[in-house]
Amino acid sequence: MKALVYHGPGKRSWEERPKPVIKDSTDAIVKIAKTTICGTDLHILKGDVPTVTDGRILGHEGVGIIEEVGPAVSNFKKGNRVLLSCITSCGRCEACKKGMYSHCENGGWILGNTIDGTQAEYVKIPFADTSLYHVPAGADEDALVMLSDILPTGYECGVLNGQIKPGDIVAIVGAGPVGLSALLTAEFYSPAEIIMIDTDDNRLDVAKKFGATKVINGKDGRAKDKVMEFTGKKGVDVAIEAVGIPATFELCEDIIAPGGHIANVGVHGKSVQLHLEKLWSQNVTITTRLVDTVTTPLLLKEVKAGKLRPRQLITHEFPLADIMEAYDTFGNAAKEKALKVLMKAA
Amino acid sequence: MKALVYHGPGKRSWEERPKPVIKDSTDAIVKIAKTTICGTDLHILKGDVPTVTDGRILGHEGVGIIEEVGPAVSNFKKGNRVLLSCITSCGRCEACKKGMYSHCENGGWILGNTIDGTQAEYVKIPFADTSLYHVPAGADEDALVMLSDILPTGYECGVLNGQIKPGDIVAIVGAGPVGLSALLTAEFYSPAEIIMIDTDDNRLDVAKKFGATKVINGKDGRAKDKVMEFTGKKGVDVAIEAVGIPATFELCEDIIAPGGHIANVGVHGKSVQLHLEKLWSQNVTITTRLVDTVTTPLLLKEVKAGKLRPRQLITHEFPLADIMEAYDTFGNAAKEKALKVLMKAA
Amino acid sequence: MKALVYHGPGKRSWEERPKPVIKDSTDAIVKIAKTTICGTDLHILKGDVPTVTDGRILGHEGVGIIEEVGPAVSNFKKGNRVLLSCITSCGRCEACKKGMYSHCENGGWILGNTIDGTQAEYVKIPFADTSLYHVPAGADEDALVMLSDILPTGYECGVLNGQIKPGDIVAIVGAGPVGLSALLTAEFYSPAEIIMIDTDDNRLDVAKKFGATKVINGKDGRAKDKVMEFTGKKGVDVAIEAVGIPATFELCEDIIAPGGHIANVGVHGKSVQLHLEKLWSQNVTITTRLVDTVTTPLLLKEVKAGKLRPRQLITHEFPLADIMEAYDTFGNAAKEKALKVLMKAA
Amino acid sequence: MKALVYHGPGKRSWEERPKPVIKDSTDAIVKIAKTTICGTDLHILKGDVPTVTDGRILGHEGVGIIEEVGPAVSNFKKGNRVLLSCITSCGRCEACKKGMYSHCENGGWILGNTIDGTQAEYVKIPFADTSLYHVPAGADEDALVMLSDILPTGYECGVLNGQIKPGDIVAIVGAGPVGLSALLTAEFYSPAEIIMIDTDDNRLDVAKKFGATKVINGKDGRAKDKVMEFTGKKGVDVAIEAVGIPATFELCEDIIAPGGHIANVGVHGKSVQLHLEKLWSQNVTITTRLVDTVTTPLLLKEVKAGKLRPRQLITHEFPLADIMEAYDTFGNAAKEKALKVLMKAA
């Protein structure tokens, strides 16, 4: 089969690889129908993720068709259409029992990381019963690809951890695919205001179309002042960090109201200054989280009910065979006005 | 009347001051029966709290007797014995309605800060109906003085924010009066282990007597290693910071298990490094809080039921008139083996 | 002044009464601008509410203008436009401190019940600081009258107690003003389905316009079957009872899924059969609640943000002086297709 | 092997049966070391549980040793000492993912009900990875048998659902093994008072030894009056029903304070009167639950930490071969002063 393979920093190729086979009784082989590229894949290609080694097939998102299942798999059979989760969950360790699949002792984020991933014609999914989801009848499969990673990430790490409630003023810092996913799922709770902050006007325009009630371009360094002015100097009830650098996290510290929640979503490479000399008395809550994908069933229901429309996150489509070109487009997201690129198998 | 007055950094005196009088209809005048000194009072004396100005009567803890009430006070009348709260709550602003009395728009921590405090023969309490509590019949009033500040502080900022539950492994960093208050109230929830970390062996001995299941003297810089070893490299479910310096907060970051809670109690003067490059994926929750004293009624019930015995926090007693000496003792806490010093009016 | 006065079962008149005066320092006198009639007022007129005695001015909803305040009132002053709450809260008793204003020791539901109410030119509001709310600048005051009672009732007793969340299937039994208020506020949480059940087709049509995804006319006694069929025999996640008779409560018991919530909103006059022989093992939660109006600030924010549009609940308008006729209309709600009738002062 | 077999109402025998064998890849065969008899087993023998048919081996509690595991079992291997859970959980259905194992689509309460149980020399456990627990090193295995059913039942259905918190006044109606389990685990949360109500003085004496702060013998029909008097007419914050008849449930309705929780634990055979004509406005929460055993890991930690001492629930011991006699003793619990009877394999 063909697959997108990582060969060290800066090197990727679309090449022939052996088709995966069932090894453990809980495995399933899935024929990929649709997949996409994540910002994390670009980080891997920069060499920033040391657990990914030369020869690894990348990708942790997608929709496909069950090709074969191991003898202990009972929820799925050949021919079923399935949503793949970026997180592999064994369902039987202490972390899984708590619903913290991200820290599964036997899984977690391993696809396209420590085991071969979904940017290929076939992929092997361990613990299939607890890591795959049936595609609901009549669902828009293109849209569902957005449920493998970015929507549960925005929802769990941003919206749920931020404890957004009706009437709240919410700020989301970063209007990339994950920040926009936080925006779309924040709307589940009807906050009074959603302020979107970014430095790219195109993304802020998208945010407005997606329902942001206020957008702020922070390029001039005045984002803090603008938020404080907009909120009558009170600050926001919930600040969601969806970038992953010190400056944006510290912006969240600057704009949070007493009693507020800062929900970190971004992947950080450096420590940040936590201004406890100011925040110690401010009754704030700060959370971090690697997505658990524990809300995938809920998100599937919301898609089916028409309350969540993930398709609008897809800006570009390619045949799976053109994935090398898709990477180029996604790698120049600002210039290409790209959010998510979708690749479809022939 | 006599009062302990602040006269700028390093200067305090026990001097004659006019007895306070009712000004607003919601005021009460309380004759102080017992009061104590807080670590914060020592900070004030160092000049670290700029809101406190020359001439201020210090103190925000105590038990007393109602001397007089304003016409709008309905819960209390002359002769009632009352517990004073370190937090003044108007009961009618947005913050008070949310139970966040610490950020009361008309109160908060003002006693012995922006208005005259309790280290005096009389004190004026604004918003008496919502800032005072009746002393239960038969209660040990000496013990109740501990409920003005340190016990709700340890309980709300440490234990409740840390979300301690049965079976948890808890670490409390700092075995001063507030850390020990967190220990005493952590026991309400029967955690499996409470690890107490300090650099003073005497305080660790006290912690053991109070129920800590493991004590660690961190003087050798190996506290992290010892905690990780004790927990089988998993870390703790809840880490309570009760010191207020970067090193102890970062220790909490080092020992927290995935999914765990870091509850800051300490008053910090500097920012700390938040290691998001490690913690972003660890599903941790970090909280800060200025005590709201919203749990004072609950704590009074626990004292009455014998589930909480605050008297053991009192190591020294003085007549109120000897408060200058009491400050000397409390100021040399390590040497004097002092936790809380109690001053009683004649 | 003129007022609508109760004179025993079946008897009401619009008659001259003395204008109320400040008695307690926390009182305010409010000139009524708009008021409405509640289903409860009809119950009173039937003689079903024994606490209401001959001579009582009815009404517990409205918007008005502060005419005068007592000396202890600090949040309001003459000329302020205010929303009246059906629940009077002293802000200082144990129940109020817990946010359970409905059980305020000094208030609760007293307006138009044990003290004179709002269907008059003027009303005295006790504990004004904690029982009134400022009308936000630019707000539609007609719409705000719906926030005195029915919207917080539907929201707190139905939606919040039912713990509605995204993806849920919700059934609301009863499409009267309170059931429709539950519908409007259920939408804050984006449930996947909202099934509305009533026996009046007109009200079901309204429910559809308000966003119900499925309506069921239960006249044929097949509501249970239809719900079970619609949900694939699983039942609903949340069932809200907004009628107040045994048959509708038992319908909720019949359609609730394992793990589900039954939130009672209806005012019941008789006991109901609780089928514990079936439900004991079904992990259900049943709640009751008299509205606390603790969410009034949140609802005001949602109205201001355009997420809640209460005006659509108003079907009829009258001058306040025509309140006798307004009662006739509201008393024949089905025939008149009446939901809420609004009376405006000249 | 030998097993205790049900042969229709009133008929049981200790007889030879074939040793169970692995059928599904997720099965385990466990050699029983210790088991016990549940009140439910007596109900079965009365013919009250129609799902149990002639020929069924009874029992759903015990500790044993893994004899053999299916190929898909990864958490356990031959020779491991294990705690059996009364609830079988597949870990992969919608209910299990929510932590509601009691409603597992492939399990739930099936042991000694729809499949053969634990009162035998060997038992087959389906979904072993998610239905068994390792016995902690050094644990008292006799005591652990109490963790198969009654302790998680008292804790989950009574204490957790009742939301007991420090300072609460709790009433537990029924001092049988499950009511006493609720008592032991209620103490995890340090309520101010635990009132135990029963009609058997011996059991009330036990309750006192176990930590009840007040016991009431309800034989004289004055339990309600006594509770109301003891609580100053306020009623209790939490009422736990651990009997399963209308009179005891209605007692809970009578004594619950506004804002309180009624947690049903009892297995009911008839409907009860729910007095909504009184309770509709009392802000109460009523819960039902079949034990999920989702807290077994927490309870194991509490046993290990010495915070929970289940051995005190065991009043009688028998060799497993004498189980017929053990049933006689347990069937005359009042006369024999029996709580739990333990049977040990030779």
**What does the pLDDT look like over A150-199, one tens digit per residue?**
999 999 999 999 999 999 999 999 999 999 999 999 999 999 999 999 99
Q: Hey, is the C-beta of B188 within 8 angstroms of any chain D C-beta?
A: yes
For chains A and C, count residue pairs whose Cβ atoms are closer than 8 Å: 56
Q: Do D213 and D241 form a contact (C-beta atoms < 8 A)?
A: no
Q: Residue B71: which of C25, C94, C99 has the nearest Cβ?
A: C25
Q: Hey, is the C-beta of D211 within 8 angstroms of any chain A C-beta?
A: no
In tens, the pLDDT along A115-126 reads 999 999 999 999
What are the DSSP calls for D213-233, one per residue? SEEEEGGGS-HHHHHHHHTTT
Which residue in C301, C303, C304 has the most chain A C-beta atoms within 10 A of its own C-beta, making it the best mutation to test that interface? C301
Q: Do B166 and D190 touch (CB under 8 A)?
A: no
Q: Do D166 and B298 touch (CB under 8 A)?
A: yes
Q: Hey, is the C-beta of D285 within 8 angstroms of any chain A C-beta?
A: no
Q: Tokens in use for C186?
A: 């259920």
Judged against a pLDDT cut of 90, whether residue D328 lies above it is answered with yes
Q: Do A305 and C187 touch (CB under 8 A)?
A: no
Q: Residue B100: which of A258, A267, A273 has the nearest Cβ?
A: A258
In tens, the pLDDT along B50-107 reads 999 999 999 999 999 999 999 999 999 999 999 999 999 999 999 999 999 999 999 9
Element (H or E) spanning A285, and its range?
strand A285-287
Q: What would the 3-class secondary structure string for A159-195 be?
A: HHHHCCCCCCEEEEECCCHHHHHHHHHHHHHCCCEEE
Judged against a pLDDT cut of 90, whether residue C316 lies above it is answered with yes
**Percent of chain C whose pLDDT exceeds 70:** 100
In tens, the pLDDT along C103-114 reads 999 999 999 999
Q: Residue B130: which of C92, C294, C297 has the nearest Cβ?
A: C92
What are the DSSP calls for B250-290, one per residue? HHHHHHEEEEEEEEE-S--SS-EEE-HHHHTTS--EEE---
Q: B touches which chains (3+ CB pairs under 8 A)?
A: A, C, D
Check the CA dihedral C70-C71-C74-C77 and report its sign: positive
Strand extents, DSSP E, A56-175: 62-69, 81-84, 122-125, 132-134, 169-173
Q: Do B305 and D167 touch (CB under 8 A)?
A: yes
Check the CA dihedral A8-A12-A15-A21 and report its sign: positive
Q: Tokens in use for A338?
A: 């790209």
Query: What are the two backbone dihedrals, phi and then psi, of residue A145, each rounded to the nearest 5 degrees?
Result: -55, -30
Provide mean pLDDT across the span D193-198.
98
Strands C314-319 and C12-16: what pairing?
unpaired
Q: Do B91 and C94 touch (CB under 8 A)?
A: no
Helices (H), chain D: 39-45, 94-97, 128-131, 141-144, 150-152, 161-162, 177-186, 201-209, 223-230, 246-255, 276-279, 296-304, 323-331, 333-336
Q: Do A88 and A114 form a contact (C-beta atoms < 8 A)?
A: no
Q: Hey, is the C-beta of A152 within 8 angstroms of any chain B C-beta?
A: no
Check the CA dihedral C146-C150-C155-C159 and report its sign: negative
Q: pLDDT-based confidence at A346, cuts 50/70/90? A: confident
> Which pLDDT score, from 0 to 100, does residue B346 have?
87
Q: In chain B, which residue's Cα lies nearest the Cα of C132?
A: B92
Amino acid residing at C255: I
Q: Do D71 and A71 touch (CB under 8 A)?
A: yes
In tens, the pLDDT along D25-76 reads 999 999 999 999 999 999 999 998 999 999 999 999 999 999 999 999 999 9
Q: Hey, is the C-beta of D285 within 8 angstroms of any chain C C-beta?
A: yes
Q: Which residue has the tokens 């290691």?
A: B275
In tens, the pLDDT along D161-186 reads 999 999 999 999 999 999 999 999 99
Cβ-based contacts of D192 with chain B (< 8 Å): 301-302, 304-305, 307
Query: What are the two backbone dihedrals, phi and then psi, of residue D265, each rounded to the nearest 5 degrees?
Result: -115, -30
Which residue in B151, B188, B213 has the most chain D C-beta atoms within 10 A of its own C-beta, making it the best mutation to test that interface? B188
Cβ-based contacts of C289 with chain D (< 8 Å): 281, 283
Q: Hey, is the C-beta of B128 within 8 angstroms of any chain C C-beta?
A: no
Residues recorded for chain A = 346
Quote the CA–CA distance of D199 and A130 in Å, as a whole number: 48
Which residue in B271, B273, B282 has the most chain A C-beta atoms within 10 A of its own C-beta, making it the best mutation to test that interface? B271
Q: Hey, is the C-beta of B92 within 8 angstroms of any chain C C-beta?
A: yes
Quote the CA–CA distance of A273 and A256 in Å, as a whole number: 15
Q: Do B71 and C72 touch (CB under 8 A)?
A: yes
Provide mean pLDDT across the span C32-50.
95
Q: In chain B, which residue's Cα lies nearest the Cα of A285?
A: B287
- Predicted-assembly ipTM surpassing the 0.95 threshold: yes
Strands C236-241 and C256-264: what pairing?
parallel
Q: pLDDT-based confidence at C42, cuts 50/70/90? A: very high
Q: Residue A130: which of D71, D92, D294 has the nearest Cβ?
A: D92
Q: Hey, is the C-beta of C211 within 8 angstroms of any chain A C-beta?
A: no
Q: Do B279 and A288 touch (CB under 8 A)?
A: yes
Q: Hey, is the C-beta of B287 within 8 angstroms of any chain A C-beta?
A: yes
Per-residue CA distances from A117 to A4, A60, A88, B151, B333 (Å):
9, 6, 11, 53, 60
Quote the CA–CA distance of A92 and D97 in Å, as a whole number: 11
Quote the CA–CA distance of D180 and D242 in Å, as a whole number: 9
Q: Do C273 and D277 touch (CB under 8 A)?
A: no
Quote the CA–CA distance of C310 and B141 in Å, as a whole number: 53
Q: Do B272 and A274 touch (CB under 8 A)?
A: yes
Q: Hey, is the C-beta of B163 within 8 angstroms of any chain A C-beta?
A: no
Q: pLDDT-based confidence at D346, cuts 50/70/90? A: confident
Element (H or E) spanning D5, and its range?
strand D2-6
Q: Residue C283: which of D268, D270, D288 has the nearest Cβ?
A: D288
Q: Hey, is the C-beta of A25 within 8 angstroms of any chain B C-beta?
A: no
Quote the CA–CA distance of C244 and C173 in Å, as a whole number: 10
Q: Which residue has the tokens 């309204």?
A: C206
Q: Do C91 and B94 touch (CB under 8 A)?
A: no
Distance from CA of A280 to the nearest CA of B (A): 5
pTM, two decimal places: 0.97
Q: Hey, is the C-beta of C282 within 8 angstroms of any chain A C-beta?
A: no
Q: Do C167 and A305 touch (CB under 8 A)?
A: yes
Quote the CA–CA distance of B238 and B257 in Å, as a whole number: 8
Per-residue pLDDT of chain B (346 residues; tens, 9 = 90+): 999 999 999 999 999 999 999 999 999 999 999 999 999 999 999 998 999 999 999 999 999 999 999 999 999 999 999 999 999 999 999 999 999 999 999 999 999 999 999 999 999 999 999 999 999 998 999 999 999 999 999 999 999 999 999 999 999 999 999 999 999 999 999 999 999 999 999 999 999 999 999 999 999 999 999 999 999 999 999 999 999 999 999 999 999 999 999 999 999 999 999 999 999 999 999 999 999 999 999 999 999 999 999 999 999 999 999 999 999 999 999 999 999 999 999 8
Cβ-based contacts of A249 with chain B (< 8 Å): 274, 276
**Percent of chain A whose pLDDT exceeds 70:** 100
Q: In chain D, which residue's Cα lies nearest the Cα of C258?
A: D103
Cβ-based contacts of A299 with chain C (< 8 Å): 167
Cβ-based contacts of D294 with chain A (< 8 Å): 97
Residues recorded for chain C = 346
Q: Hey, is the C-beta of D272 within 8 angstroms of any chain C C-beta?
A: yes
Q: Hey, is the C-beta of B233 within 8 angstroms of any chain C C-beta?
A: no
Element (H or E) spanning D237, and its range?
strand D236-241
Give every CB contact of residue A177 below 8 A, 6+ residues apart in sequence: A39, A150, A313, A339, A340
Amino acid residing at C194: I
> Which pLDDT score, from 0 to 100, does residue A246 have?
98
Cβ-based contacts of A72 with chain D (< 8 Å): 25-26, 71-72
Q: Do D262 and D241 form a contact (C-beta atoms < 8 A)?
A: yes
Residues recorded for chain D = 346
Strands B28-36 and B122-125: what pairing?
antiparallel
In tens, the pLDDT along C244-302 reads 999 999 999 999 999 999 999 999 999 999 999 999 999 999 999 999 999 999 999 99
Q: Tokens in use for C218?
A: 């239960």
Q: Do D92 and A72 touch (CB under 8 A)?
A: no
